[in-house]
Structure 1
């Protein structure tokens, strides 16, 4: 065998002429496309089921499903910190409460439509999270968990303080009326809240 033929043979079996092993990358595009297609089909099936459910269930069950989706949206924020960065936080309920009270106060005391409360509540939570996050950046592990737990424990007590009771409702909280479906849609209040929450969840996901 000539030197040229030997070189070609080395390359065919994944070795360089110097004897170094080299891995040969083979594209896995078909498998990746198949996996993506399967996930897309599963998503569409689940979405179709989610769209049909409110028409087949009682209003109370629809409301419970809406609450479940609200908690799922809250968990998405926690996943950014814990799932992707590995930092254990116990304080997300505090920002959840601040956002909820912001929206409720704007609706109950200011007469603002619930749609417009979403960006305002998001901005306020972002500012508070940024201010709390500046010193928290120096912490990690159990120390971050303790600091965020303190925030979660203190927030309900702050919201129940007497100077804020007029706005927050104290220990009773704020009772707001469920909004009617817009544009004359043939949906009751629970069904509309369900679909509205589903749309928000899909956008954030």
Structure 2
């Protein structure tokens, strides 16, 4: 006999699968999810209250996985740099790497975040999204290490720059088609790891010493070489 926690877990697994495989939000429904989970339709209301709240719970679980991967990558960076502190580029790579990789991988759960964005824009219950919006514990960890790598900025300045770095990342993960047009197709020539390196190269000067902050944004030699080889 299956208990309530088993049913709840099956619904979360099914919701993630349905969202990931859906072609448009109209394909994400209670009936489709409960059929995938082998549950009755009423189970969504019983365990989550609504399809919208199931979507939020699914995104919250995926977000925890993403943050675990981020922090694991950060720890690897810290271990490699020991006994010194890691540099800005490596910290930024750990910060944005997982999101970029997921956004470019159709098999990843990144579609859950896109679905959540749609839900939040249409919802008449914005408070149900508050927990995810305010979950910045992992960001504070990155801010701490960025502060050590760029001690010429105080904590407030570091967090402003961290927020800007995340904005750059989101432009490329959420609006890839627009970015491809703006860059005249250049990002299409890069794989995930190259794109992460290029974004870090662009973001890193925000954390440079104020008297060294002016940097040319011409493509790095290695990236330019990669692109020229694809022509």
TM-score for the superposition, normalised by structure 2:
0.26
The structure that has the greater radius of gyration is 1
Scaled by the length of structure 1, the TM-score of the pair is 0.29
